[in-house]
């Protein structure tokens, strides 16, 4: 299995991404989960990560708290999408499992230094604050990263928090710039892909019909989470943004994209956090990321449903 660190701000879609990873031990070995401030403040994302691991029946998972604010700006949250708790929808019990003592950034740095080079994949599902802080603190880790598979950005789909920017990049563009320039192989799941990963009614019914706590909670979470996108975009269901990351680690053939140059806008008031993606290759700027453009949505949902059934 591929060794991964999940860096996350749960979030209903983060929750499904985590459940998918924890249900897939043949392909994925979750070394640890690091929380970050994003959809809701850090205390809540850390609490939610614990609730999800217990929902998965994996209280032995190591959870670390990371950064509580972006590098250079104040925190922007998304309760309008995810609800007050960040995980509105199901009624999940208060968790008992611990949070590890070590800071999440130190866990990332130490793990990359301890494990053989090229064997650890980072899976950021929220703002890139923790990953950028780790890279700033310990630049030697960049060349030890196997791959960074992240959810963030957009090209044709442009933005969801401002007209020009996707939420995860917008919240901490300075961090995103550090990550996109770090030199490690990067695969990006932008809105262009995740807006095709929609939990339609039959897909939601399939989660619920599993009848186990993880299946029922996933149906309840996506029921709640779909409101925003249905009202805003007339979407056919909740977009499962973050599970695209863990599904890609399990089966990259579900996705297709292009290896291109991606730069992050950090200066402009109007377009801060925009991923300027050279999809058509109109510049000679260096290619630094594989930017996904499409997915096999039926294959993606079949995988998630099959894996949730195991929990």
User: Which of 7, 14, 106, 223 touches ligand BDR (CB under 6 A)?
Assistant: 14
Q: CA separation (Å) from 242 to 37, 60, 115, 238, 278?
A: 16, 22, 25, 12, 23
CA pair distance 71, 81, nearest whole angstrom:
23
User: 166 touches which of ligand BDR, Ca ion, none (CB within 5 to 8 A by kind)?
Assistant: ligand BDR
Give the shortest CB-30-to-ligand BDR separation in angstroms.
Answer: 18
Write the DSSP assignment of the chain as a string of letters.
-EEEEEEE---HHHHHHHHHHHT-TTTEEEEEEEE-SSSS-HHHHHHHHHHHHHHTT-TTS-EEE--SS-SSS-----HHHH-TTSS-SS-PPPP-PPPPSS-HHHHHHHHHHHSPTT-EEEEE-S-SHHHHHHHHH-GGGGGGEEEEEEE---STT--SSSSS--HHHHH-HHHHHHHHTS-S-EEEE-HHHHTTSEE-HHHHHHHHHT-SHHHHHHHHHHHHHHHHHHHHH--SSEE-TTHHHHHHHH-GGGEEEEEE-EEE--S-TTTTT-EEE-TT--S-PPP-EEEEEEE-HHHHHHHHHHHHTT-
Stretch that binds ligand BDR, among 6-14, 178-186, 209-217, 263-271 (CB under 6 A): 6-14
User: 81 touches which of ligand BDR, Ca ion, none (CB within 5 to 8 A by kind)?
Assistant: ligand BDR
Stretch that binds ligand BDR, among 69-77, 130-138, 166-174, 294-302 (CB under 6 A): 166-174
Positions annotated as catalytic residues are 241
- Size of residue set near Ca ion by CB under 5 A: 6
Q: Which is nearer to ligand BDR, 11 or 70 (CB)?
A: 11
78 binds ligand BDR (CB under 6 A): yes
User: Which of 45, 121, 160, 271 touches ligand BDR (CB under 6 A)?
Assistant: 160
Stretch that binds ligand BDR, among 28-36, 45-53, 164-172, 262-270 (CB under 6 A): 164-172
Q: CA separation (Å) from 208 to 257, 304, 311?
A: 32, 12, 13
In the range 30-59, which residues lie near Ca ion by CB under 5 A? none
CA pair distance 161, 48, nearest whole angstrom:
22
147 binds Ca ion (CB under 5 A): no
Site string for ligand BDR, 119-148 (x = CB under 6 A): ------xx----------------------
152 binds Ca ion (CB under 5 A): no
Stretch that binds Ca ion, among 98-106, 178-186, 236-244, 288-296 (CB under 5 A): 236-244
User: Which of 7, 13, 88, 172 touches ligand BDR (CB under 6 A)?
Assistant: 13
User: 78 touches which of ligand BDR, Ca ion, none (CB within 5 to 8 A by kind)?
Assistant: ligand BDR
User: Which of 107, 167, 255, 301 touches ligand BDR (CB under 6 A)?
Assistant: 167
Cβ–Cβ < 8 Å for 7, 131: yes
11 binds Ca ion (CB under 5 A): yes
242 binds ligand BDR (CB under 6 A): yes
172 binds ligand BDR (CB under 6 A): no
Q: Which is nearer to ligand BDR, 18 or 141 (CB)?
A: 18
Which residues are at the interface with Ca ion (CB under 5 A)? 9, 11, 14, 125-126, 242
């Amino acid at each position: 299995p591929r060794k991964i660190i999940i860096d996350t701000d749960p979030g209903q879609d983060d929750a499904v991404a985590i459940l998918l990873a924890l249900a897939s031990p043949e392909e994925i070995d979750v070394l640890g989960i690091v929380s970050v401030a994003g959809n809701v403040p850090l205390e809540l994302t850390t609490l939610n990560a614990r609730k999800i691991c217990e929902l998965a029946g994996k209280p032995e998972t190591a959870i670390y708290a990371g950064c509580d604010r972006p590098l250079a700006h104040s925190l922007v949250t998304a309760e309008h999408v995810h609800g007050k708790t960040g995980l509105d929808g199901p009624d999940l019990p208060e968790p008992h499992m611990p949070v590890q003592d070590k800071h999440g950034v130190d866990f990332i740095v130490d793990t990359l230094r301890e494990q053989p080079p090229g064997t650890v994949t980072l899976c950021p599902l929220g703002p890139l604050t923790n990953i950028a802080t780790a890279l700033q603190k310990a630049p030697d880790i960049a060349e030890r990263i196997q791959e960074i598979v992240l959810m963030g950005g957009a090209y044709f789909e442009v933005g969801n928090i401002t007209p020009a920017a996707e939420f995860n990049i917008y919240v901490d563009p300075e961090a995103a710039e550090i990550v996109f320039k770090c030199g490690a192989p990067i695969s990006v799941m932008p809105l262009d892909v995740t807006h095709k990963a929609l939990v339609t009614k039959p897909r939601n019914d399939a989660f619920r019909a599993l009848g186990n706590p993880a299946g029922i909670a996933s149906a309840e979470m996506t029921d709640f989470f779909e409101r925003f996108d249905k009202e805003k975009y007339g979407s056919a269901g909740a977009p499962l943004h973050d599970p695209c990351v863990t599904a890609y680690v399990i089966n990259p053939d579900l996705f297709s994209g292009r290896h291109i140059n991606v730069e992050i806008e950090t200066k402009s008031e109007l377009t801060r956090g925009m991923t300027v993606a050279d999809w058509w290759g109109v510049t000679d700027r260096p290619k630094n990321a594989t930017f996904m453009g499409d997915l096999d949505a039926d294959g993606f949902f079949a995988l998630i449903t099959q894996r949730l059934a195991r929990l």
